[in-house]
Structure formats: structure tokens, C-alpha cells
Amino acid sequence: MPKIVLSKHAMTRARSRKMELYGIEQLILFPDDKQTLGDNKFKFFKNISGRRYQAVATYLSKKDKWLVVSVWVRGEEDQLPLAWLIITAPFRLLWWFARQLWKIIAKIAVKNRPIK
């Protein structure tokens, strides 16, 4: 059975997208669907635990290995780094307050609107 090797990019993406390595192995070895991209590259599709795993991999016939170039979960956004969440927290909080204030002002304006 061929071995599976993840590129540095694929490994980083798998971690940031909370993808199980066992799931990536299942995706490559037993895909629900596979699409040829040319130049010995393939795109793999598999539903795993309600998540739609996808990957692009190249088969290295001399080494009998699959080199996984990138992985992702269809329909899911990447998680933002913790540092970014901390840096942007004051701005997100300010934006939330501004929206709440705007809702209050709109309710008051509608309530005090003259009836014709």
C-alpha cells in the first residue's frame, strides 16, 4: 500500500483546519471521488464525520508515495490565529457597541416619528 507524505504547507493547513491525519490518510487511500488535474496530480474528496475533506496530491511512482500538496475542508473557514484575535479584540468590541447604539437610536427615531 502506498505511503502518504504531507508537504510542509499541507501539514500547516491540516493543523490550522483541525483535520485529523488519519482522516487525510483515508481521504487519499479511499476517496469518495477523485478528479485528475494532469501532470500526475489529483484532487480527492471524502466526507468524514460530516466534514467534506479535500486534498490535492501527486503520486510519486518511483517512491510509491502520495505527496499531499494541500488540504482543506469545504465550507469551513480557516481559524484565525490567536494573536490576531487578541490584536483585533478592541476594534471588534467597539464595532459591537456602535451597532448596539445604532439599533437603540433607530428604535427611538421610529418611536418619535410624527404620524401623518
What length does the chain have?
Answer: 116
pLDDT category of residue 30 using cuts at 50, 70 and 90: very high
Residues 69 and 27 in one domain: yes
Question: What domain range includes position 95?
Answer: 80-116
In sequence order, what are the residues at sequence separation of 6 or more whose Cβ sits closer than 8 angstroms to the Cβ of residue 41? 56, 57, 58, 69
Tens of pLDDT, residue by residue over 75-110, are 766 666 778 888 999 999 999 999 999 999 988 888
Residues 63 and 92 in one domain: no
pLDDT of residue 83: 85
Residues 46 and 68 in one domain: yes
Residues 20 and 62 in one domain: yes
Number of domains in the chain: 2
Listed as own residue / partner, the contacts of 9-13 with beta carbons closer than 8 Å and 24 or more positions apart are 9/69, 9/70, 10/55, 10/68, 10/69, 10/70, 10/71, 13/70, 13/71, 13/72, 13/78
Residues 65 and 84 in one domain: no
What does pTM read for this prediction?
A: 0.65
- Cα gap 40→61, rounded to integer Å: 9
